[in-house]
Amino acid sequence: MIEIKDLHKSYGDKHAVRGISFKVEKGEVLGFLGPNGAGKSTTMNIISGYLSMTSGSVIINGHDILDEPEEAKKCIGYLPELPPLYLDMTVLEYLTFVCDLKKVPKDQRKVQLAKILSMVKITDVADRLIGNLSKGYKQRVGIAQALVGDPEILILDEPTVGLDPNQILEIRKLISKLAKTKTIIISSHILSEIQAMCDRVVIINHGKVAAIDTITDLSARLTGNSKLLLCFKGAIKDVINSLRTIPGVSSISERVTNESGIHEIEIIVDYSAGGDVRANIFYNMAKNGWPILEFRSLDPTLEEVFLSITSA
């Protein structure tokens, strides 16, 4: 769907992007991360066709962004960090103007705009001036303009910046809904949001790719393995002996046992040996009648992984 090869961008002697390469598969939600000044926004502007690269290539759904810019850009809906809104227009006037820019056929506009307004939940403010809207609604209008033309790919730069917790949750739900039918690249400094929404992450630092992987595999790479915490009620020795038979379970150690017979164990997992073992652990516990009271990962958070990679 998207293929970036050896991307470079220089401003005189300053190198903003230094040989970035990665792919985004169809239907994937990719987190694009990096510290301030790492080259994130520059890269996203190049992918969207807003900036030209110094060298390298960007292929969008089989179309080179330089050789076939119109065909490539038809596939993309782009939300910059600062949404390109005209504050003296109403929401509907603005989205109609975006339809003109994207050459949406006039006989399709009414139905398409009604669908977009409903999807991003701004139907009730369609006739209001954008300048009078709250930050959350303006962000929704920004997402709405990215959806005009029904692009296959969405590039979202800081889609939740400046929003309150309730607004962030609403935007997250919207992005999760869009992810069912779109390929999405998200850049954000709110790493918990990336962890909740993305299949993989690309971390860049000093204009170069520092890491590409799933969050689980990045965590395992940082610690050398993956850890799970299991809290349950049952015979500790029987549980440990049973769970050790599951492929991928490397070792088990007891952490806490209280007077009520509730135990906590730490399970070291080798995903290369047995894949994701969590479902097998659950079924094993259920089959034997051992109630699970808590079951969660002890792996480093994405924030810890990010800090480790970008501070190296």
Helix axes 278-287 and 236-243, enclosed angle (nearest 10): 140
* 208 confidence band (pLDDT: 50, 70, 90): very high
Mean pLDDT of all residues in 294-302? 86
- Indicate whether 305 pLDDT > 90: no
Half-sphere exposure of 34 (CA within 13 A, CB side): 25
* Domain 2-219 shares a fold with domain 225-301: no
**DSSP symbols for 134-177:** -HHHHHHHHHHHHHTT--SEEEEESTTTT--HHHHHHHHHHHHH
Q: Hey, is 193 helix, strand or coil?
A: helix
Q: Hey, is 297 helix, strand or coil?
A: strand
pLDDT at 83: 87
pLDDT tens column, 49-82: 889 999 999 999 999 999 999 999 999 999 988 8
Asked if 100 contacts 149 with a C-beta cutoff of 8 angstroms, the reply is no
Taking residue 224's Cβ as centre, other Cβ atoms within 10 Å add up to 7
What pTM does this model have?
A: 0.78
- Indicate whether 161 pLDDT > 90: no
The per-residue pLDDT of the chain, averaged, comes to: 90
Mean pLDDT of all residues in 87-107? 95
**Phi, then psi, of 38 in degrees rounded to 5:** -80, -15
Phi-psi group of 92: left, alpha or beta (phi > 0 → left; psi -120 to 50 → alpha; rest → beta): alpha
Q: Of 143-147, 204-208, 254-258, 279-283, which gets the smallest average pLDDT?
A: 254-258
Helix axes 106-119 and 135-147, enclosed angle (nearest 10): 140
* 259 confidence band (pLDDT: 50, 70, 90): confident
Please, which residues have CB within 8 angstroms of residue 100's CB and are 6 or more apart in sequence? none
Mean pLDDT of all residues in 222-229? 77
pLDDT tens column, 104-134: 999 999 999 999 999 888 999 999 999 999 8
- Indicate whether 263 pLDDT > 70: yes
**Phi, then psi, of 36 in degrees rounded to 5:** -55, 135
Distance CA 278, CA 300 (A): 17
Q: Where are the domains of the chain?
A: 2-219, 225-301
pLDDT at 308: 83
pLDDT at 274: 58
Q: Of all helices (H) and strands (E), which one includes residue 20?
A: strand 14-24
Which CATH number is correct for 2-219, 3.40.50.150, 3.40.50.300, 3.40.50.2300, 1.10.443.10?
Answer: 3.40.50.300
DSSP 8-state assignment for residue 234: S
pLDDT at 59: 95
Determine whether domain 225-301 maps to CATH 3.40.50.970. Answer: no
DSSP 8-state assignment for residue 25: -
DSSP 8-state assignment for residue 128: S
Mean pLDDT of all residues in 189-201? 85
**DSSP symbols for 237-272:** HHHHHHHTTSTTEEEEEEEEE-TTSEEEEEEEE-HH
Which residue has better confidence, 285 or 50? Answer: 285
- Indicate whether 255 pLDDT > 70: yes
DSSP 8-state assignment for residue 103: T
* 162 confidence band (pLDDT: 50, 70, 90): confident
Distance CA 85, CA 70 (A): 22
Taking residue 182's Cβ as centre, other Cβ atoms within 10 Å add up to 20
Bridge-based pairing of strands 29-33 and 200-205 is: parallel
